Structure formats: structure tokens, C-alpha cells
Structure 1
């Protein structure tokens, strides 16, 4: 299978999928390694295809037209990551990303796309397995999350939950 043909097959798999598709599933369907698929996904993104990574696999990004989005500035140590993310998803929030500001590299973003406690658990499991440091470890625990909810009331519930945890520094509008 040629490169372009393979990327078209990947795109078709993503369009037809009703749930995220893992890199391994794509690799098996295309008879290549998972690393080749990772490269293909990067090329699809570079060409403007809205492919997002989730803890369960890849999917096409769907715009939620009626959704509410807000960035929250937070600060805490690694021991509060799970509580922070669960507070967001438990109140109807989708955690799109985590962003930190680095003194040399500028803004660094990690795509999260967490919408449930299960997603949070999968993310934390992958981080532990990879022994990967949190992006916020480069910024003394300071980071932002872009959060999306269906309603302003859900967004307010997310804000209150973060305030109660004591991790909210200030909310950015």
C-alpha cells in the first residue's frame, strides 16, 4: 500500500468510526507498524485534518457548536492531578489540553481530550507506564486547561469544583 493510499485508508477509518481507533488497529488494517501510523497521523494533521488523540485512540475532531469553552489557570503538584481532572470531567467538562509556559520554549501544549473518569485513569496509567513527567513540572505546577462544557451552568460547576480543590489560580476569559 502506497503512502497516500494508506493515509486515505486511515482517514476513511476515522470517518466511519463510532469510537476512537487505536494506532494498533490502523497498523493492522494497513499492514504497517504503529510508528508508521503515528507519522501518517502527524502528516494528516499538518495538512489540516482535525485528528485528535484520546487515551482510547484517534478520532476526528467534531466541533461542538453550542458548547462553552474556557481556560482555567491552575497550580498544584503531581499528587492533585487526578483530583483536578476528575473534578472537571465529573462536572460535565471535556479537558482539551494542558498548556505550560517555558522560559526557553515558550508555550508547550499537550493534547488530552479527557471526558470521563475512565479517560483520566487511562491517561494516568499511560503517564506512569511511560514514566513521563507532567508538563506542569517545568513550570512549578502552573498550567492551564482548555475546558469545554455543554452549558454555562456546567462550566460554573467546573469552576467551583476547581476552587474547592484549591488549584484554581484565576480563570482566564
Structure 2
């Protein structure tokens, strides 16, 4: 399949997917290497296609009527990361990102898009398997998350749960 057809196929697969697709799975389907998929995704983005990368894979950014979004400031060590993320998820939230402030580079952001316990489990497994440090390790544990909840009441429940667990930074 030529480059144009492959990119159309990638778009078709992403638009039909209910969950993110990994570069490896796209590569298998298209019979190319993962690096070619990475290049195709970069080109699609350059053309204005809203493809995002998450720890679970690639997905199209779908515009939808959202709930309540709020940026929260947290502080904890790497060992508490899973508990923090699960606190948000189990109380009905979605974790869109993590951001830290760097003295030279300014804000550094990592896309997460975690919506379920399975997402958190896969994220934590990937962090462990790659021996990666959490982004907040460069900022003394201080970081922000953009979280989303379907209602203001659920957002307040999430904030209270994070406060009870000692994750909120004041």
C-alpha cells in the first residue's frame, strides 16, 4: 500500500477505534515498521489532523460536550503516583495530562488521557517496564493535572478525596 493509502487507512482505523491504537498495532495492520507509523502520524498532525499520543497509543481528539475541567496542583513522590491517579479515576474523573514547571524550558506537559483503572494499570506497567521517572521528579514532586468530571459535584468529590489522601499542594 502506498503512503497516501496507508495514511487514509490509519485515519480510518483511528476514527473507528473506541480506544487508543498503539504504533505497533497500526504497523502490523499496515505491514510497515512502527517508525513509519510514527512518521505518518507526524505528517497527519502537520496537515492539521488532531491525532494525540497517549500512554495507551494514538487516538483522534474528539470534540465533545465536556463536563467540568479543572487544573489541580499536587505534590507527592513517584511511589504515590498510582494511588493519586486511581483516586481521581475511582471518584469519577478523567486525567488529561500532567504538567511541571521547568526553570529553563517553562511548562513541560505529558498527555495521559486516563479514564479507567485499566488505563492507570497500563500506564503504571509501562512506566515500570521502561524504568521511566515521573515528570514531577524534575520539580520536587510538584505538578498539575487537568482533570475532567461530568458534574461539579463529582469534581468536588475528587478534590476532597485528593485532599484527604494528602496529594493537594497548598
* Residue range with higher mean Cα deviation, 93-102 or 34-43: 34-43
Tell me, what secondary structure is at the counterpart of 1:72?
strand
CA–CA distance in structure 2, aligned partners of residues 149 and 64 of structure 1: 13
Aligned residues: 170
Taking structure 1 as the reference length, the TM-score comes to 0.91
Partner residue of 1:28?
28
Q: What's the TM-score once normalised by structure 2's chain length?
A: 0.93
Which residues of structure 1 form unaligned runs of 5+? none
1:153 maps onto 2:153 in alignment? yes
Correspondences of 1:95-134 after superposition (within 5 Å):
95-134=95-134
CA contact (8 A) 1:91 1:157 kept: yes
The answer to whether the 8 A contact 2:69-2:147 is kept is yes
Structure 1 position 104, deviation (Å): 1.1
Matching of residues 30-45 of structure 1 within 5 Å: 30-45=30-45
For 1:1-173, list aligned pairs within 5 A.
Answer: 1-170=1-170
Q: Are 1:74 and 1:142, in contact at CA under 8 Å, matched by a contact in 2?
A: yes
Query: Whole-Å Cα distance in 2 between the matches of residues 92 and 63 of structure 1?
Result: 20
Q: What are the superposed Cα offsets for residues 7-48 of structure 1, whole Å, 9 maximum, x if unpaired?
A: 221011111223322222211121111121122222222332
Q: CA deviation digits over 1:100-128, x for unaligned, max 9?
A: 11111111111101011111111011011
How far apart, CA to CA, are the structure 1 residues paired with 2:68 and 2:48? 23
Which stretches in structure 2 are left out of the alignment for 5+ residues? none
The CA RMSD measured in Å over matched residues stands at 1.5
1:90 deviates by 0.6
Q: How far off is 1:162 after superposition? A: 0.8
Q: Is the 8 A contact 1:136 1:143 kept in 2?
A: yes
